[in-house]
Amino acid sequence: MANLSDFLPVAGGGGGGIPKYQEFTTSGTFTPSQALIDAGGRIGLFLVGAGQNGVNNTSTMTGGGGGEVIMKYITLTNTNSITVTVGAPSGGSTTFAASSAGATDEVALGGTGAGANHNDSRYNSRQGAGFGAHMRYGDQAASAGSGVLGYGVGGGAFYSAGTGTAKANSGSGGGFSSLAGGSGFVRVTWFE
C-alpha cells in the first residue's frame, strides 16, 4: 500500500507546486526557470495561429479561415530562452521554438485563404481551425467553422454567423469585405 506522499513531487508531501502561466499577445521570449526544470520541466501549451482576411468580390462574399489551435504538453530539459512568434493577421503562423530548451518546436498554422470549407484539404492539418463562411449572391450563407474555446473561429459571410473584423489575438478569420483576421496567441502554463 502506497502513502499519499509517494505521489506528491515536493519533499515531505507538501503539495504539487505553485501553478504559473505566461501569455503572449505579441512576439517575445519564454525563459524556463530552474524551479520549473527541477519540477520535471513539463509545460502546457495553448497556441493559436492568426486568422486569414475575408474577401468580397463580384460574385461571392467569404470569411477568412481561422488559425490552427493546438493544446498539448511538452517537457523542457534546460533553462535556455525560447523564442515565441505570435502570428500576424492575414494568416501568420504562431511558433514556440522549444528546441532551444530540449523539446521540439511547435507551430500553429495560420488560417487559409477565404473560401476554404470543411471539405477543403487545406484544413486536414489544422487542428481546431474554423473554415470561413461562404456565400454566392442570392444563395443562403454557409456557417463558419467554430474553432476551439472561442479561438480560430472562421470568418462570416454576408448575414451569417462568424466574425466581422476579428478580435486581436483570437486567431479568428475576418468577415467578408476584406475585413482583417485576428492575430495569434500563446499561453504557457506550468507548476514549480
**CA 17/CA 162 separation, integer angstroms:** 40
Q: What is the mean pLDDT of the chain?
A: 81
Q: pLDDT tens, 117-162? A: 545 555 556 777 776 766 655 555 566 778 889 898 888 776 555 5
- The answer to whether 175 touches 62, Cβ cutoff 8 Å, is no
pTM, rounded to two decimals: 0.82
Q: Give the residues across from 22 on adjacent strands.
A: 188
**CA 22/CA 4 separation, integer angstroms:** 30
pLDDT classification of 65: cutoffs 50, 70, 90: confident
Of 12-16, 63-67, 110-114, which one has max mean pLDDT?
Answer: 63-67
